[in-house]
Each structure stands twice: as structure tokens, then as C-alpha cells.
Structure 1
């Protein structure tokens, strides 16, 4: 469900922001170099391979951690009977630490991308206002108002688009994991017959 929604959001935002850029370039030809420079900067601000790999590691570690927690809760009585509470506690603590470390690194990298996008959007807003001020004599009040309004929408929209694009790129990990799991060899079913001395029935005496 999350992947189709992210795809729809990315495509919708891409078309909307492209239309806004084209309209601004038509109304203010001086904005065209700024738009090209912006495209170059945003292209290099896309999520890195390290971000995607960290998200994959984080997702891979979260599953076994939850499975271990569920198994521990389900077998709590047996664990207490065998006095293995300390062993499972240490095992679960190590699993949680590994999952949290991967998730923290993933969030830090994504936060860095968010900050960089915010800085780029601030420069975009400043450049747009500067161009409007320098060309105010050739712009009508209505055109200037439209340009400023669309510039604000573009700044917010591009920032949101980059965030959605990052989420979309990292959401593709689910597809990669499905493809990886589909290629796993099946477990070999046992066809060995029991030994002759193996009892056919049993009873408690």
C-alpha cells in the first residue's frame, strides 16, 4: 500500500513542479539559468547508495528482532522452567541494539539530505526574489505577484518532492527483498525412512 501511494505522490509532485518551473522561466527568462542550476543541485542531493543500503539493513534487522520478541513471549513458561531468562534477555538486547543502530544511522543520513534540500530551497527563494527586484521595471504588479506566489509554492513543493522521492527510493527495498526471497532455494524435504529398531508406537510408563 505504501509503495503505490509513494509512487503516485512522486509523479504528481514532479509534474506539478515541472509546470511551475516552466511558467516561471516563460515569465522571467532570467530565471532559466537558476532553474538549470537548481536541477543540477537537486540531482546530486538525491538519496545516496549508503542511505538505501542502511534502510535495507534496518529493515532486515527489524524483522528478526520482532520474531525473537514474539518467540520469547510465546515460550516464556519454558524459558522460566529452564532458567534461561538471562540468556534470552542478553540475546534480545543485542538484537535490539543492532536494529536501533542501523535505524539511527538511516535517520541521520536522511536528516542530512533534508537539511541540504532546505538550504537549496533557501537559495532558490533568494535568487527568485533577487531576479524579481532586478527586473521589476519590466514586470507588471500582477506578474510580479504571480511569480512570487509560484516561487513560494515551488520552494515548498520541491522540498516536499525531494522528501517523497527519498522515501520512494527507500521503499523499493521491499521489492528488492521480495525478489531476493523468491530466489532462495527451497528446503530439502526428508525422505529417509526410520531405522528398523525405531519403535512404531510409544507409551508412558
Structure 2
């Protein structure tokens, strides 16, 4: 089996870490967006209530004054025009809130999908196995590395992938680098389920 430079391995792990950091940032954004979504829903409901009360009061005043005095008909039209302007501004605000709600829904869907995938099967590319636990191969700075005991061996795998196809592409890259014995294995709850077909 060829020798891999530690710098190459660190570069691979840095790429994997970057994707993890991005995922963590997205999860943080989901948390903030969910808070914003709750606030926006409350604002929207309060705004709708205020709008309804305002419209009813405006219509009531308009009806009252236009029914009692015909001379105040012009004034009623002004109030109605102001009410229409208010309604248009509220509609604009509601449309904006709807757009924000759609954006937050997309982020929430990503978060829920990610949470679901964490409970599902993942795929990793095993590059080496040892009879003894040789933990010195894995630096604590490296992430997306699996070190699993598969009796009587300790398996060393790189990458955590949601789909088998992603893991196969990564395996192909490792084979091209000289890891001819690398293979894809599936894991669930930290235990290897099976060795997958490489093609």
C-alpha cells in the first residue's frame, strides 16, 4: 500500500472540516431564522389584528359621518383614501413577511433534512485496518474520521457521506492517489453495517 504524506491527509481533512463548519453555521442560522420566523409570525398576527380593527373603525366612522351629514361626504372620502393607503402599506408588509417566511422555510427544511440524515446510515471510505489500536494515526484536529473496532481489527476510515455515490467518488480519488485497497463501508449508530459494492 502506498505511503500518504501527512500534509495530503491534513489537506483532505481540512476540506472535510470546512464542510462541517459550513454545516454548523447553517444550523446556527436555522436557529436564528426560527427565532426570527416566530417573531415575524407574531408581528404578522398583531399587524393583521390591528389592520382589521383599524379598517372596522375607519369604515364605522366613515359610515357614521356620511350617514348623518352630507356635507362631510368629502371628509369621509379622505378617511377612506387614508384607509386604502394604510391597507396597501399593510399588504406590502404582509407580502414582505411572506417572502421572509418562504426563505425561513427553506432553511428549516434543510435543518430537518440534516437532522433526519444523522439518524440514517452514513458512508465512509476505509483506507486501513490494524490489529492494534494505533490512535496516533488520527490527529484530534482531524474531523470526519472514523476509527471503528471491527473484531479483531481497528478500521480507519475517511469522510462521512450521506449517499453511497458521494463515498464512491471519494474512494475513487483515494485510489487514484495510491490507496488501491480503499473501499466504501456503511455505518449506522457508530457501527459498520456492511462493505458496499465499489461500483
TM class by shorter chain equals 0.3 to 0.5
Higher relative contact order (CA 8 A, sep 6+): 1
Could you say which structure has the larger radius of gyration?
2
* TM superposition score normalised by structure 1: 0.36
TM-score (norm 2): 0.36
